[in-house]
Amino acid sequence: MLVPLLLAILTGSPPALATSVVAPPVFAAVHTSVLLQEHGESSSDAAPAQETQDHAPAAEAHAEDAEHSEEWGTEVMMHHIVDSNELEFGSMKIELPRIPSIQVGRFEIDMSPTKHVVFLWIATLLTILTVWFAARRAARTDPGEQAPGGLLNAFESFYVYLRDDVALANIGHGGEKYVPYVVTLFFFILFANLLGMVPFGATATSNIMVTAALALISLAVVEASGMSALGFKGWLGTIFYAPAGLHPIMRVVMLFIMTPVELIGKLAKPFALAVRLFANMTAGHFVILALLGLILTYGSFTKATGIAAISGSLLLGLFVMFLEIFVAFLQAYIFTALTAVFIGLIRHAH
């Protein structure tokens, strides 16, 4: 019975032929199962290959989408907002000089200029030039013969409004000497806000350290104005406050309760100024970058989806851009107006 099978093996003929000729039913059944397994393996091998070929375009699309998401992720958005030691002009980068750090006890102070520091210098220069050109033009203009125009007219409109409706209206009597600070503060914050809207620019006021420094300067001006108007003893009364006519025991209780409240109130004012300006200027940039990121995310889909994503993102981005210009003016006004309000409150405290 094994001779035909051996002959088939020696001659190289197919095992199926030899089995079909003389093999008993047991060998035939075994061989049939082997064939079925081989056929199943070959078909199962072919199925994944076909499935792989069918899903290849989808895999490429997913890989492309993942690449786009990596190109325009949180790190890229943060790169356009956070501070750095270089200036970027398209593909060109300018490394800013490094200054050796100053060691003060356990603290290390880095005095090296950064991108936001450079744009703060530019905002300072623009503020000085604006006031200087307006003052020079006003000196050459005879108010009885011709009306101011151009830059002088625009600056005079802002100046008169800030003087009459912001400084004097909120500070009250003696507010004239705070008008220069109020006007300077407004234009400096305004230019710092708007510089982030120009190409290759940066918004220094989206840095919490910048807004905190501005808030601390305003806090110093507020407290100094209170000490000047009330005297040192009167200024202490804005911290250690207890209504007159109380029993000595109740006076101690009121001082124990109200002193922390007054201190928290003094610190909450600059905190609110710093966080409000920082959050509003940062949020606008994030919204614009997120809308532009939709182009990379959905622009590579179907033609209709790509057109809708590109056109919608550009239109919404343009709307948010104009809205951010309005917010730049609004936040400069709010910071300045609240500073004037705080000065007026402490000068007429209790």
Find, among 161, 213, 197, the residue nearest to 317 by Cα: 197
For the whole model, what pTM was predicted? 0.75
pLDDT band with cut points at 50, 70 and 90 for residue 190? very high
The pLDDT, as a whole number, for residue 263 is: 93
The arithmetic mean of pLDDT across residues 183-210, rounded, is 93
Instruction: Report how far residue 126's alpha carbon sits from residue 54's, in angstroms, rounded to the nearest whole number.
Output: 61
CA 253 to chain centre: 45
Q: Is the pLDDT of residue 79 over 80?
A: no
Q: Which residues contact 87 (CB under 8 A, 6 or more apart)?
A: 93, 94, 96, 115, 118, 200
- Contact predicate 116/204, CB 8 Å: yes
Residue 228 to residue 325: CA distance in whole angstroms: 37
Going through the chain in order, the beta strands assigned E by DSSP cover: 86-89, 92-95, 102-104, 107-109
Nearest to 194 by CA among 261, 252, 122: 122
Of 308, 309, 304, 281, nearest in space to 293 by CA: 309
Q: Is the pLDDT assigned to residue 341 strictly greater than 50?
A: yes
Please provide residue 100's backbone torsions phi and psi, each rounded to the nearest 5 degrees: -55, 140
Q: What's the confidence (pLDDT) of residue 300?
A: 64
Token duo for residue 203: 């918004």
* φ/ψ (deg, to 5) at 107: -100, 145
Out of 77-81, 110-114, 228-232, 262-266, which region has the weakest mean confidence (pLDDT)?
77-81
**pLDDT: is 149 or 83 the higher one?**
83
Q: What is the 3-state secondary structure (H, E, C) of 46-76?
A: HHHHHHHHHHHHHHHHHHHHHHHHHHCCHHH
Q: How confident is the model at residue 161 (pLDDT cuts 50, 70, 90)?
A: very high
The Cα 210–Cα 83 span in angstroms is: 11
Distances (CA, A) of 61 to 51, 270, 298: 16, 50, 11
Residue 249 identity: I
pLDDT at 158: 93
pLDDT at residue 227 greater than cutoff 90 = yes
R_g (Cα) of the chain, nearest Å:
38
pLDDT-wise least confident of 75-79, 169-173, 274-278, 330-334: 75-79
11-53 per-position pLDDT tens digit: 444 444 333 333 434 333 434 443 334 444 444 444 444 444 4
pLDDT tens figures, 99-127: 888 888 888 888 889 999 999 999 999 99
Determine the pLDDT at residue 46: 44
Q: Compute the average pLDDT of residues 239-257.
A: 86
